[in-house]
Structure formats: C-alpha cells, structure tokens
Chain A
Amino acid sequence: MATLDKLQAKFPGAFTTSSFRDNVRVLVNAAKAPTVLFLLLKFLKEECGFDMLTELGGIDYLNYPNATDRYCVVYGLTNTATGERLWVKAFANDPDPELPSVVELWNGANWMEREVYDMYGVRFTGHPDLRRILLPAEFTAFPLRKDYPLRGYGERHNFPIVTRAES
C-alpha cells in the first residue's frame, strides 16, 4: 500500500502495521503515541489525502489476550477522493492515559474525543472543551472501562422519590 510506504519513509520505526479483512491498521504504542501521533495524523491528512475522520472510538484492552497496553483510541480515516480507508490505533496506559487531541485537524473529532473521555477517562491534551458529554457532569466513574460493572454501582437508584402526596 503506497500510503504505508510513504508513512514508513517519513516516520521510520514509529509504528507497526497489521491488517484483517479490508482493514489496514497503523499501530502506535503507548511510549511513542504522545509525540508521534499528532504528526503522523497531520501527515496523513495533509500529504496522503485522508481528509475525513470517519470514526474515533476508544477500547479498553484490560485482560485481552496478548495485549500490552490498556487503552486504545482508534482513528478511522477516509480519503473522500479515492474512498481509501486507513485505521490508526494509538495506545495509552494507566495511571494517567493521555493522547494529543486532533480537533485542530478535524473538527469532527471534537465530540468523539469528548465521548472517549467520558467513557474511558482518556484525556486529550489540547482539546478545546474536554467535558463529559453523555453522562451527568457529576458522575465519577468511567463506565466503559472493563472494571466497571454492567449494572453500575447503583448510581441509577440515587434519586429522590416523588410520591402522590408531594406532587
């Protein structure tokens, strides 16, 4: 794939690649991600024509077979001129998972990064407005982490009750 060769020449040794079905992936590990990731995505956008960020989502690889890093953020890039797709996976680790924000490159990343922060607690440095988006601002946990139970810790029951007499 021409893009990968170009990328290899520009960032030698910064990433590994893998593929499955029609997904071609570029993997940036937790040690390199804070420095390399933004430049790599910028290069992909400006030099390789990947002008659309189709997808940005988080994954928590706790207890996943053969996983080395815990958190992962997946960037799905699309070249709207050719329809080519490329997946970039960047990893981060506890205790303070942090990745550079790509809102500068794609405005569409704004809410998707907020969602990843909301669900996994991965902080994006340089994000203009990193707040919780789906859960109430006072919520304390990050529910999509693997160590958070499906039914929660009972937050859903902590509300005042309105009875007929009160209303």
Chain B
Amino acid sequence: MALTNLLPDFMVTKLDALASLLRKHSLWPMPFATACCGIELMATASSRYDIARFGAEAMRFSPRQCDVMIVAGRVVMKMVPVMQRIWLQMPEPKWCISMGACASSGGVFDTYAVVQGIDRFIPVDVYVPGCPPRPEQLIRAVLDLQEKVQKTGTIDAREFADRTTYEGPTPLARELAPEQAIVAPGDYRTATRLRPLPLA
C-alpha cells in the first residue's frame, strides 16, 4: 500500500494500531445462525451476557454491513452455497467465527447431508468448541478475534495478502465420479435460482 511507502515506519505502526483499536471494538457480526447455536447466540446478545460490552452487539443481517460472520450451527448441503455467497458479499476486512462443534467439524452429525466443518469451504479465523458453546465461550472467541485484529493489523491488508491459499484441513477425497456428482446446488452463483439450468 502507498501509505507504507510514504510514512516513516513508526507512524505506520501507530496508525495501524489505532485503526485496529477502533476496528476491533466495533466488530459488527453477521449472525449466520442455522441451528441450536443460534439460540445461544441470541442468549449472548440478550440481557444476562450482553455482548454489547465488547462492542459486538450490532448484529446486521445484511452481509454488506458486517465485519465478522458468526456461523452458528451445522451447515448442510443445501446451505453451503448460501453461506459461501454471503461470505463473498461481505466487504474486506472480514473475519469468520465458526461457532460450535457442528460448524467446526460436523459434530455429532456425521451423516450424508452435513458438511464436516465449514473450513473446508470458506476460511475460518476462530473456532469455538462446544455443543452448543456457552455464551461465555462465544464472548471469549470475540475477545480472541479482537486480539487477532490488533496483532495482525489491517490497514495495509498485510494479513490478508499473506493468505492466498486454502487454509482448511486436507480436502476429503471426492468419492463420486465427476459425472455422478451433484453439481448444481453446489455452486453459489446459481443456488438460489428458481428454474433449472439449461443443460450444457
């Protein structure tokens, strides 16, 4: 970035720290709540736990306004393209919290329909264990994310520039032959259309 070249180093560090300080205390979550964890997410936002103490209470259901996507609950075949599309709609800088065992690894649902961890298909920054995690754990995850934002800094997008490759676990073997694979619902570009695609 141009800023890095123009200013002396210590200034950049300070500016970066300042930007990160402001940014980390006003994380706007995008609650991608699908299942049980969504209720705990609601509990975290309501009176007893009050996530507003950590500046992350402004839940916006519009991905264009959000910084951090909280995937709460298991993600299944039909939902993956939707999740990917929402992730792509969020503006940079953006982070992702994978809340709960189901979102992180599939949890108890090792079945034909459930994706075994969302990190296979989108990048994830913080994993929260638990089924579902207690609100305290989610708050801890938000704090961890704040620490990450502060440490890595985002003003010159250093953090994101380094991360060009796939970060998730080793992709599982695709067990279907290409001609058998179900293609259409898997693509976030076409998943919400109303009429079938014309055959290629």
Contacts and interface: CB of A to CB of B under 8 A. Distances in A.
Q: In the complex, are there CB atoms of A and B closer than 8 Å?
A: yes
A156 B175 CA distance: 10
Contacts of B81: 159
Interface string A132-167: 000111111001000011111111111111111111
Contact of B112 (A152, A161, A163, A164): A152
Contacts of B133: none
Nearest to A166: B88
A154 B174 contact: yes
B93 to A, nearest CB: 11
Main secondary structure of the interface of B (DSSP, over half): loop
Interface in B112-133: 112-116, 120-123
A151 B182 contact: no
B182 A138 contact: yes
Contact of A156 (B116, B167, B173, B180): B116
The list of the 8 closest CB pairs from A to B, nearest first, reads: A154-B175, A152-B112, A136-B185, A165-B164, A164-B163, A159-B186, A138-B184, A164-B123
A119 to B, nearest CB: 11
Nearest to B160: A164
Interface in A36-77: none
A140 B112 contact: no
B110 interface: yes
B163 to A, nearest CB: 4
Contacts of A165: 163-165
A158 B182 contact: yes
A155 B174 CA distance: 8
B81 to A, nearest CB: 7
Nearest to B182: A138
Interface in B148-175: 160, 163-168, 171-175
B171 A157 contact: yes
B164 A148 contact: no
Most A C-beta atoms less than 10 A away, residue of B80, B112, B166: B112
Interface residues of A, number: 27
Interface of A: 135-140, 143, 148-167
Given A138-B183, A160-B186, A154 B113 contact: no
B167 A163 contact: yes
B18 interface: no
Nearest to A154: B175
Interface string B177-191: 000111111111000
B164 A157 contact: no
Most A C-beta atoms less than 10 A away, residue of B87, B123, B168: B123
Contact of A158 (B88, B114, B166, B181): B181
Contacts of A157: 120, 171-175
B78 interface: yes
Given A136-B78, A136-B185, A161 B113 contact: no
Nearest to B89: A167
Given A140-B180, A158-B186, 9 more contacts: A135-B77, A136-B185, A137-B184, A143-B113, A150-B112, A159-B81, A159-B121, A161-B168, A164-B163
